[in-house]
Amino acid sequence: MAVSTQADAAPDHALTRLLRLGRPAIMGILNVTPDSFSDGCRFVDTAVAAAHAERMVREGADVLDIGGESTRPYGSVPVTAAEEWARVAPVLAQAVRLGVPVSIDTMKAEVAARALDAGAVIVNDVWGLQRDDAMARVAKEHDAGLIVMHNRETADPAIDILAEVETFLARSVALAEQAGVARARIVVDPGIGFGKTPEQSLRLIARLERLRVFGLPILMGLSRKRFIASVSPSQPNERLGGSIAGNIAAARRGAAILRVHDVAETVQALLIHDAIERAR
C-alpha cells in the first residue's frame, strides 16, 4: 500500500511528512458538534474531546481533523463562524500540543484562518473552495495543507458520478493554484456520501484509481457512512466492519490518507493486511 505523490517538492511541511510515511496516513476524526451523524453529543465537552484526541494519537492517528459544524448531508444545522470557532478553539488549543498535525474541518475561511493562527496546519474544506471565495487565499497566506472535497446539494442517481467528481475537483484544484497554493499542498477527496447515492459512493471507491488523473494525493473519508447500511443494514456505530473493509479497498487503490473514527481498529487492519501481503 505504499503511496506515491508529488509532495516531495515540499519536504518541510507537515502534510508532506504525512505523505512520506510509505503507507496511508490515519486521520482521526474529532467532531465537537451536537449533531454529528456518528458522534452526536459525545465530544462537546472540552475535557472529553481532548481526552479522545489524546487517545486517538496513542492508538496511531497521524493527524487529527477537528470540526465544529456538522456537515452531514441530511439534518445538519448551519452555525455562525463565531459559534463554530467557540466550539473548536478550546479543543484545538489542547490538540496542537499532542505532537501530530491538526486539520481544521470547516467551509468558512474565517474559522480556517483562526484555526491556522492557533496551530492547525491543514484546512479540510468539504466544499472544495467553492462556497467561500476567501478559503484559497487563507490557505495560501498560511502556507497550509489543503484538502478539497467534492460535494453536491442533492444526490442525482442519473449522473455519471465519476465524471462529476473529476470536473468539480478540477475546478477546486484550479482555484487553489490560482490563489498561489502549491500543488504539493493539495489533497483531493471524492466526498463519499455527500450528494451521492449509496451506489455512487460504492462506485467511487471501486474506481478510486481514476482520481489519479490529478497527480495528487487522495483522501478517503468513508468511516461509518450510510452506503455501508445499504449493503449491510446498520446504525452508524454498528459499521466498524464495513468501514474497515472500505478503507482496505481504498488503500489498495491508492488512498494516501484515511479519515476514520476508529483509529486503533483501522491501524490494526492495515498492519495485518500488509503483513499478509509481505508473507506472499
Return the active site residues: 225, 259
- Residue 166's SS3 state is helix
What is the per-residue burial (b if ≥16 Cβ within 10 Å, else e) of 96-124?
A: bebebbbbbbbbbbbbbbbbbebebbbbb
229 exposure class (CB count in 10 Å sphere: 0-12, 13-18, 19+)? middle
Of 204, 126, 129, which Cα lies nearest the Cα of 159?
204
- Concatenating the DSSP letter of every residue in 169-237 gives HHHHHHHHHHTT--GGGEEEE--TTSS--HHHHHHHHHTGGGGGGG-S-BEE--TT-HHHHHHS---GG
The residues that bridge with 94 in the sheet, in sequence order, are none
Q: How far apart are CA 254 and CA 72, in angstroms?
A: 25
Answer whether 44's CB lies under 8 Å from 66's CB.
no
Eight-state DSSP code of residue 24: P
